[in-house]
Structure 1
Amino acid sequence: MKHLLLGFIFGISISLISWIVGMVLNGILVKTEYYKKLSNLNFIESKALNKNIGIGYFKWIVKNTFFKFFNQKIKLENRKVDLTEIRNEMTLSEISHLIGFIFVTVFAIYKSFTLSLVFGLTMMIPNIYMNLYPSLLQQENKRRINKLMKRNIKTEANPL
């Protein structure tokens, strides 16, 4: 029981730290030629699977709690916004969270072997909600942005 509670608390702590690690490493990674490939990741294409794992609930939490204040650059406030800029910000957020997820996962595996399997597994619970779900949400949002961008290109090509 002790490892369960401590693993969860430690998981929250290291997941918060992983946000900074993700931003720093993403800042370095964005300057490489591989970043273009990373900007088109799509782990879950199925809307049904996203719904089944609770991405819709997670989206509601992000939109209706203090989390909505975290990344103000990812907002569609009016129709005159630059969708490419918003998509780029979503990609930065997505990749940063993925890096954070991997960082905590490696740490959880290490703690599973050195301390306790329960400790390592319970570390992953906050990691999933604080890093994996935000990344999956950004992927879903990017798919929606891509559709809007395609629609805008068609409208510009055929204004009538």
Structure 2
Amino acid sequence: MILKHLSFSISIVFISFIVGMILTVLIRKTNFYNSILSNLNFVKSDKTNKIIGVGIVKWIVKNTFFKFLNQKLKFERKINISEVKNIRNEMTKAEIDHLFAFIFVLIIVIYELFYQKYLLAFIMLIVNIVMNLFPSLLQQQNKRRIDKLIFKFENKDKKIKH
């Protein structure tokens, strides 16, 4: 029974990835996306991220087949400010994809709770947190690091101009 719920939950979460991508494409050109969603930061502390397990997800993404999924999120040897900003935009897109996917599965979890399928809802929620919420938090953490890099680039350019 648990394996059946687990496999169903994993299937739903993979479907949610597609739903998240579609929703992101639909709103990507809006002010809501550019001004609010692109600057989300749920957990501002790297220490808190570490405590809740985002570091484990980071290790999994770096050391398993997941590293091949989004090749746009890698730096080349030499980096410049436009490449860094482009990677930040791709990270934002991936983060929002996962957030929409998380919300999609959360709606299904609520539906299952309404019909008193507590075990299925619990398993689906756990799988959703691990496969959608944590990757989104990881992207937010990486965006904070990239924002520091962008700040350094921009300050370096200002010093050169003066």
Q: TM-score range by the shorter chain?
A: over 0.9
Give the Å deviation of 1:83.
Answer: 0.7
Specify the SS of the correspondent of 1:45. coil
Structure 2 spans left out of the alignment, 5+ residues: none
Distance, in Å, in 2 between the alignment partners of 1:61 and 1:120 is 24
Query: How many pairs are equivalent?
Result: 158
Give the Å deviation of 1:64.
Answer: 0.9
1:9-158 matches, cutoff 5 A = 9-36=7-34, 37-81=36-80, 82-158=83-159
Specify the SS of the correspondent of 1:73. helix
> Out of 4, 7, 19, which is 2:5 matched to?
7
Give the Å deviation of 1:80.
Answer: 2.3
Alpha-carbon RMSD across the aligned residues, in angstroms, is 1.3
Distance, in Å, in 2 between the alignment partners of 1:53 and 1:8 is 22
Give the Å deviation of 1:125.
Answer: 1.3
Deviates more, 1:106-115 or 1:126-135: 106-115
Give the Å deviation of 1:115.
Answer: 4.6
Give the Å deviation of 1:122.
Answer: 0.8
TM-score, length of structure 1 as denominator length: 0.94
Report which of the two has the higher share of helix.
2
Structure 1 spans left out of the alignment, 5+ residues: none
Distance, in Å, in 2 between the alignment partners of 1:89 and 1:5 is 34
User: CA deviation digits over 1:96-143, x for unaligned, max 9?
Assistant: 000000000100110122251111111111111111111000000000
TM-score, length of structure 2 as denominator length: 0.93
Give the Å deviation of 1:7.
Answer: 2.5
Does structure 2 retain, via aligned residues, the 8 Å contact 1:105–1:124?
yes
